[in-house]
Structure 1
Amino acid sequence: MTFANVGTLGTKPGKRDEVVAILTRRNPQLESAGCLLYEVGTNDDEPDTVFVAELWTSAEAHQASLSLDTVREAIAEAMPLLSGQMGGDRFTVAGSPLRG
């Protein structure tokens, strides 16, 4: 079953766009690690928040991706820009009307 991780990252004031730039860099390793979708977004009503929606082949693939050098480097670069406020949910996808 597909695994979803949908969350928010709080950023320090004025640092949202820098975090978005880090998270949206092309990373072919994610796809080979089992990432099916990785979308990063913003909402002008929440100027210090980054929204992330991920779909993975499994929860294990998501966990394993955290050991990729490119992912670890991106995390290290983004951490000083984050406020520490994080939220979200993780779940096993039951299905979709868009695919069989």
Structure 2
Amino acid sequence: MRKFAMYGKFKAHPGKGEALAEILLEAAEQCKSVEGCDLYIINVSEDDPDTIWVTELWNDLEAHDASLRNEDAIAMIQRAKPLIAGVEPIKLKPLGGKGF
């Protein structure tokens, strides 16, 4: 099995970082029951409260993709879209380490 990891950098519209982070924290809570999700952590930039990073680790790419087809996830994405100025996904191939 090949694990899949990703960092997602979300840039919120000015002043909307906190609202976006709240929605992403809801997504993180939902991920606790999503099969195939090993890690889903929400981080905010120390220097810019409108920049939120999501750290993800999945059993595989298919588990990640399946999570995006979930009705609750689709609804959260729709709520978050108006708050987002830009997204930079960074897809990774994890090799190992603590928590892996």
Fold conserved between structures, TM > 0.5: yes
- Secondary structure of the structure 1 residue equivalent to 2:88: strand
> 1:35-77 CA distances to partner (integer Å, 9 max, x unpaired)?
1110001113123211110000001110111100111011000
The residue matched to 2:6 in structure 1 has which SS? strand
**Does residue 66 of structure 1 match 2:61?**
no
Shift of 1:88: 3.4
Output the amino acid matched with 2:18.
Answer: D
**In 2, distance between residues paired with 1:36 and 1:49?**
23
**Partner of residue 45, structure 1:** 47
TM-score (norm: length of structure 1): 0.86
Q: Secondary structure at the match of 2:82?
A: helix
| Matched positions, count | 97
CA-atom RMSD in angstroms: 1.7
Contact map agreement 2:44 2:53 (CA 8 A) in 1: yes
What 5-or-longer segments of structure 2 have no aligned partner?
none
Aligned partner of 1:51: which letter?
W
Check if 1:56 corresponds to 2:71.
Answer: no
Q: What SS class does the counterpart of residue 95 from structure 1 fall into?
A: coil
